[in-house]
Amino acid sequence: MWIFPILLLLVQHSTGSILPTESPPEDTTISDERQSQCTKEFEEQDQQLTSLKAQLNVYRDKARELEMLLNYSNTMGERLWESYKAQTDFKEQVEKILMKEIQVQNSTIQLEEDQRQSFENRLNELEWQLKNRDLRIMEIETQMKHKEDRTRGYLKTFMDIIEKELEGKNADITLSTENSSERREIQASEQMEDLKEQADAKQISSDQQLKDKDTELLLKMVKEMKEQISKMEMQIQARETQMQSHDKSIRELVDQVNFLKRTWTGSCLPFTNSTDIYTIKLPGMGSVDVPCNSSVSGSGWTVIQRRVRGNVNFNRTWSEYKHGFGDLRENLFLGLEKIHLMTLLQPHELYIQLQHANGSTSYARYDDFKIGSEAEAYKLKSLGKYSGTAEDSLAFHEDMKFSTFDRDNLDCAKYFGGGWWFDTCAESNLNGIYYPNGTSSKRDGIFWGAWQKDNYTISLTFTQMMIRPKVM
């Protein structure tokens, strides 16, 4: 593109230089003077030609340079295109991973829902059975009432019969006393007296007999009835026991449902009085052993970090902070992935205990602790409201990514030693170097700036970080 006009220019120059003079020679004989003039002119033109050649070379060089520039910009374009493509691919991959995570969580939620449903069904069934039992007890009560009524009926008929019999006897006696003649009036009256007495006696005795019989019968019936009643009472009692056992099994089921609900969320909450290692379940990870602590500010805390001695190095790699390290019963960091999964599904509290080498202690508590996924560099996503006695030295780190010396997001981890949510750089770092004597020469110990009045030669000798699902 550039070369063509340059060549044209060159040709114009050359043609000009071929004709030395504009006018034709006047003489056929060339004078010496003229000859030397010509030679001079030729020399001049030669010089001109050489300079033009040099110019041409300069232009050629420029042209090559421009071509190289063009080539360079082409390669740059290609590289840009490649990096754009790589970025797009990366984005797609991340999206895929996220989608997978969502699906895993979805299926976990589905599973939970199914379990809950089956428990509910079971509860409904048991309730229905209970209702049935109530109905049957009512039925039995009605039957008992029937039987009682019938017994009363029998008794009444029986009494009627007895009364009638007694009446008949009285009539006989009256009749026989009426039948007397005037002649034997006195005798008769005496006899009558006698008879009357006899009749009275008879009546009394028969009454007595009847009464005895009656009583016997009644007693027998009462006994029978009592037996029946006690039988029924026993039946009722049996039903009641059955009902109670059903009540109990229902309560047990409800407890189980609650237990499952709590354990499935993955925390120490179900282990109310525990002070040891327990297995919890995390979505997408399964069973995980964690230390639980219920002797500090209520029960159900999961310990995620603890410093008690200097025997465990906390200046570790990203991968080690991701998966966790140390001894569950002593110095430990539980692992960022676990903490992320625990705080993912429901709000958590964070409780931090601190102790100075001089023995004094303090705590800081936050009511909404949450960290992001590895794709978000386990960012300290939220802390919530602070309360406590140590003053707040963590809010400074809110929204910061986690850093380790091999993945130093802000060039702080290497200096401070140990992973933390460094800003530029730190107001607290509980994963620093452990100094048993509580004093560090530079700012690389375990510190909580607000509590130690920004005296960073102080290095704390005990820390414990614990989390617990927020009780609404």
Ligand X SMILES: *[C@@H]1O[C@H](CO)[C@@H](O)[C@H](O)[C@H]1NC(C)=O
CA–CA dist 161, 164 (Å, integer): 5
* CB closer to ligand X, 343 vs 353: 353
For residue 278, the minimal CB distance to ligand X (Å) is 11
Q: Site for ligand X (CB under 6 A): how many residues?
A: 37
**147 counts as binding ligand X under rule CB under 6 A:** no
> Of 356, 381, 401, 407, which one interacts with ligand X (CB under 6 A)?
356
* CB closer to ligand X, 134 vs 276: 276
**47 counts as binding ligand X under rule CB under 6 A:** no
**444 counts as binding ligand X under rule CB under 6 A:** yes
For residue 382, the minimal CB distance to ligand X (Å) is 23
**358 counts as binding ligand X under rule CB under 6 A:** yes
For residue 455, the minimal CB distance to ligand X (Å) is 4
Q: Which range, of 84-92, 186-194, 198-206, 431-439, touches ligand X by CB under 6 A?
A: 431-439
Contact set for ligand X, span 273-302 (CB under 6 A) = 273, 275-276, 291, 293, 295-296
> Of 11, 18, 175, 472, which one interacts with ligand X (CB under 6 A)?
175
Q: Which range, of 95-103, 195-203, 213-221, 370-378, touches ligand X by CB under 6 A?
A: 95-103
Pick from 397, 416, 284: which is nearest to 344 by CA?
Answer: 284
* CB closer to ligand X, 206 vs 457: 457
For residue 6, the minimal CB distance to ligand X (Å) is 18
**458 counts as binding ligand X under rule CB under 6 A:** yes
Peptide bond into 425 cis (omega under 30): yes
For residue 34, the minimal CB distance to ligand X (Å) is 50
**451 counts as binding ligand X under rule CB under 6 A:** yes
* CB closer to ligand X, 68 vs 135: 68
For residue 305, the cross-strand partners are 333, 465
Stretch 176-215: interaction string toward ligand X, x if CB under 6 A = ---x------------------------------------
* CB closer to ligand X, 49 vs 284: 284
Q: Which two tokens stand for residue 399?
A: 């929204």
**435 counts as binding ligand X under rule CB under 6 A:** yes
**Cβ atoms within 10 A of the Cβ of 139, count?**
10
For residue 362, the minimal CB distance to ligand X (Å) is 8
- For ligand X, the binding residues (CB under 6 A) are 64, 67-68, 71, 99, 102-103, 106, 175, 179, 272-273, 275-276, 291, 293, 295-296, 315, 353, 356, 358, 360, 405, 414, 417, 435, 437, 439, 441, 444, 451-452, 455, 457-458, 464
